[in-house]
Amino acid sequence: MFSALAPYGWDEAWADAFAPYAADGLLPGRVVRVDRGQCDIVTADGTVRADTEFVVPRDPMKVVCTGDWVAVDPDGDPRYVRAYLPRRTAFVRSTSSKRSEGQILAANVDHAVVAVSLALELDLGRVERFLALAWESGAQPVVALTKADLVPDPVTLAHLVQDVETSAPGVPVLAVSALHGDGLDTLVALAGSGTSVLLGQSGAGKSTLANALVGADVMDVRAARDVDGKGRHTTTTRNLLALPSGGVLIDTPGLRGVGLFDAETGVGQVFSEIEELAGGCRFHDCAHETEPGCAVRFAVENGELPERRLESYRKLMRENQWIVAKTDARVRAELRRDWKRKGAEGRAAMRAKRGPWT
């Protein structure tokens, strides 16, 4: 059933998850784009537009996003998304530093391709931050160093790849040039199964890569004269595209920064060699500062672990703990409000029972 959705990743497991909605006469579809309370959904009957108003108000995590599988009423006017199926993976960042809320960027992603432009100086800290979010989402991260044609010296290029590799254990690092086609085969092979999302700063060349993978100019790319400029974002919505040779790709608008949102596991995965070393520290709760018998400091001192890595690890861990603490406080405050409301309701109910005279 719904085999027309296969190019978008529909499978047995989604069909099972959808069964109760099918029984209600609803139509399955995948969200290919969201803008201002509405979304485009590919269904077996073609692309339909629907309102996303079913969402729980004020909870940005419960908002439909690109990549979601949804149940939509077939002929409503207006047409509503009734529910989204439980997400296999979700890419979440924290929205702002003032209000610690998660913002969901893409759902049901298998490969997170972090695009990093070689036209700019490498910022390993930023790469690590993107990777923490990618790992935390449940997707397998990959780094694509874009515009490799701008680094014509192969030795220099190899060094740059190596630098990123040491900052990304367990993550494949590819140098690609959409202009010359270098390295694209590997990316095509990777994106050929499951769903991939392109992430990275504005101007990194995500949409240019998307066009190369699709084999047609489906996404607008920035005018050549504005390469890596601080100009406007060229892509403004998250777009899901079915690739001609299989696989699904989500192109996203450039992210200026990505704040961590409850990403301790992700941070741990980005710095897995440090967590491994920490197993050799004398104290279980070693902070790797001045403690005796610290295996991490020892590795830094004998040049095995770059000091920069340790500092970056500390920074991201601290930031994450701060976000988590803040979030907990917010959740606690909400619970308290809830309790107060329930208490007030309970008292009102009691008054009603006893009658207005008490």
Ligand X SMILES: Nc1nc2c(ncn2[C@@H]2O[C@H](COP(=O)(O)OP(=O)(O)OP(=O)(O)O)[C@@H](O)[C@H]2O)c(=O)[nH]1
Please identify, among the stretches 132-140, 169-177, 230-238, 281-289, the one whose residues bind Mg ion according to the rule CB under 5 A.
Answer: 230-238
Residue-wise over 196-228: b if at least 16 C-beta within 10 A, else e? bbbbbbbbbbbbbbbbbbbeeeebebbeeeeeb
Interacting partner of 202 out of ligand X, Zn ion, Mg ion, none (Cβ under 5 to 8 A depending on kind): ligand X
Please identify, among the stretches 77-85, 131-139, 168-176, 200-208, the one whose residues bind Mg ion according to the rule CB under 5 A.
Answer: 200-208
Q: Are 20 and 83 in contact (CB under 8 A)?
A: no
Q: Are 195 and 138 in contact (CB under 8 A)?
A: no
CA gyration radius, the chain: 24
In the stretch 16-45, what mask flags binding to ligand X with x, by CB under 6 A?
Answer: ------------------------------
CB atoms within 10 A of CB 340: 10
Q: How far is the CB of 272 from ligand X (least distance, A)?
A: 28
DSSP string, 29-69: EEEEEEETTEEEEEETTEEEEEE-TTSPTT-GGGS--TT-E
Please identify, among the stretches 75-83, 118-126, 162-170, 204-212, the one whose residues bind Mg ion according to the rule CB under 5 A.
Answer: 204-212
Of positions 82, 233, 308, 314, contacts ligand X by CB under 6 A: 233
Give the largest CA-CA distance in the chain. 89
Q: Does 66 bind ligand X (CB under 6 A)?
A: no
- Give the integer Cα–Cα distance in Å for 135 and 263: 9
Cα distances (Å, whole numbers) of residue 228 to 31, 116, 118, 150, 319:
30, 11, 10, 13, 28
Interacting partner of 286 out of ligand X, Mg ion, Zn ion, none (Cβ under 5 to 8 A depending on kind): Zn ion
Q: Which two tokens stand for residue 284?
A: 């279980």
Q: Which two tokens stand for residue 48?
A: 């339909």
Closest CA to 120 of 230, 252, 234: 230
Of positions 137, 146, 211, 235, contacts Mg ion by CB under 5 A: 235
Please identify, among the stretches 57-65, 182-190, 227-235, 264-272, the one whose residues bind Mg ion according to the rule CB under 5 A.
Answer: 227-235
Q: Are 111 and 139 in contact (CB under 8 A)?
A: yes
Interacting partner of 43 out of Zn ion, Mg ion, ligand X, none (Cβ under 5 to 8 A depending on kind): none
Q: Does 117 bind Mg ion (CB under 5 A)?
A: no
Strand partners, 158: none
**CA torsion angle for 162, 167, 170, 175 (degrees, to 10)?**
-40
Of positions 89, 202, 269, 312, contacts ligand X by CB under 6 A: 202
Q: Which helix (H) or strand (E) holds 94?
A: strand 90-94
Q: Does 196 bind ligand X (CB under 6 A)?
A: no
Q: Closer to ligand X at the Cβ: 87 or 206?
A: 206
Q: Closer to ligand X at the Cβ: 231 or 280?
A: 231
Q: Are 67 and 41 in contact (CB under 8 A)?
A: no
Q: Does 222 bind ligand X (CB under 6 A)?
A: yes
Q: Closer to ligand X at the Cβ: 97 or 236?
A: 236
Q: Closer to ligand X at the Cβ: 88 or 222?
A: 222
Q: Which of residues 243-272 bind ligand X (CB under 6 A)?
A: 253-254
Strand partners, 90: 107
In the stretch 153-182, what mask flags binding to ligand X with x, by CB under 6 A?
Answer: ------------------------xxx---
Q: Does 149 bind ligand X (CB under 6 A)?
A: yes
Q: How far is the CB of 95 from ligand X (least distance, A)?
A: 18
Of positions 107, 164, 191, 204, contacts ligand X by CB under 6 A: 204
Residues of this chain that interact with Zn ion (CB under 5 A) are 281, 286, 288, 294, 296
Query: Where on the chain is the footprint of Mg ion (CB under 5 A)?
Result: 206-207, 234-235
Query: Where on the chain is the footprint of ligand X (CB under 6 A)?
Result: 146-147, 149-150, 177-179, 202-208, 221-222, 224, 227, 233-235, 253-254
